[in-house]
Amino acid sequence: MAVHELPLERRTLHGHFSPDLEPVLTVDPGDSVFFSTLDAGWGLEGGSLGRRRFEPRQRGLDDGHALVGPIEVRGARAGQTLAVRVEELRVGTYGFTDAGGWASWLNARLGVAEGESAILWWDLDADAGIGRDQHGHEVGLRPFLGVLGMPPPSPGVHSTQPPRRWGGNLDCGELVVGTSLFLPIPVDGARFSAGDGHARQGDGEASGLALEAPMERVRLTLDIRDDLELRSPLARTHDAWITFGLDEDLDDALAHALDEMLGLMERELGVGRREALALASVAVDLRVTQVVNVVKGVHAILRDDAVR
């Protein structure tokens, strides 16, 4: 299988989803792609003195996350499944997190004043796996890409903010190195894009921002699966299955994630649906993925050792 490298330049960057975007690279199924990313806000460098942003950008087309792509997968057809394996992630040297203004409905309930901001600037040590902010707080790094996905099949410009059944801004901290994400393909060729590097994120992404960071080096392998018929994203880690539910209503998102998990348990464990639900109640973890991107997310986790 071939290995490709995408340079970080104006030609390979975009800030929206659209099936009308021309691919910047075409790969065969099973090929790998190396690239680096800006931070989600198109930042080039950071630290206590602030950030310098990538230019030029086009208003209306580059308002969202800085994404690399689209990448066309030769032979991919709408209705098939795209397999994205995360092979390598190395964070850049800085990151940031803001505590205000990103989830106004939640801020109001928490007593955070509108417009109030508390930016944490992080120095990141990829080799040590540690981030340290300007106040001396330290966290262990667990990098992943917040956005991995394909455009809706309808023409036009689509925001990068909400996650969709074809992926996008899933913001799931489980999608670390060694994980495979499976997505229903919406358009011929797939037209896959990625970005929104996170050095670490808690489930829920409470303030609306994770530890946002550029990625110095990313390697993804893209493949096509004909043996998986999906309605929503599915992931496989080294020791667990993960199903996703997405909806503006958190209750509905939870129901979707659990519905997909019950279907997976029926297939993987050979049980009926009622038994799957009973087993899920003792073996499946339901977690709030994020609540700050208009469409809310819940992911259900079934670990391999949970049911023997």
Q: What is the pLDDT of residue 100?
A: 61
pLDDT by residue for the chain (308 residues), tens digit each?
Answer: 899 999 999 999 999 999 999 999 999 999 999 999 999 889 887 654 456 889 999 999 999 999 999 999 999 999 999 999 999 999 999 999 987 655 566 666 776 666 666 789 999 999 999 999 999 999 999 999 999 999 999 999 999 999 999 999 999 999 999 999 999 999 999 999 999 999 999 999 988 899 999 999 999 999 999 998 899 999 999 999 999 999 999 999 999 999 999 999 999 999 999 999 999 999 999 999 999 899 999 999 999 999 88
- Give the torsion sign (CA, 36, 210, 163, 279): positive
Other CB atoms within 10 A of residue 58 CB? 11
Distance CA 181, CA 192 (A): 12
Q: What is the pLDDT of residue 204?
A: 92
Domains of the chain by residue range = 3-225, 239-303
Other CB atoms within 10 A of residue 159 CB? 16
Distance CA 252, CA 75 (A): 34
For 239-303, the fitting CATH number among 3.40.50.2300, 3.40.30.10, 1.10.1240.10, 3.10.28.20 is: 3.10.28.20
Q: What is the pLDDT of residue 211?
A: 95
Distances in Å between the Cα of 169 and the Cα atoms of 48, 56, 135, 189, 253 are 27, 23, 29, 20, 15
Return the SS3 of 250: helix
- Angle at CA of residue 66, ends 134 and 240, nearest 5°: 80
Other CB atoms within 10 A of residue 28 CB? 14
Distance CA 61, CA 162 (A): 16
222: region left, alpha or beta (phi > 0 left; psi from -120 to 50 alpha): beta
87: nearest Cα among 143, 137, 25: 143
The torsion of the CA quartet 58, 63, 65, 66, rounded to 10 degrees, works out to 10
Distances in Å between the Cα of 164 and the Cα atoms of 147, 216, 293, 297 are 11, 26, 11, 10
For 3-225, the fitting CATH number among 3.20.20.210, 3.90.230.10, 2.60.120.580, 3.40.50.11260 is: 2.60.120.580
Q: What is the pLDDT of residue 103?
A: 59
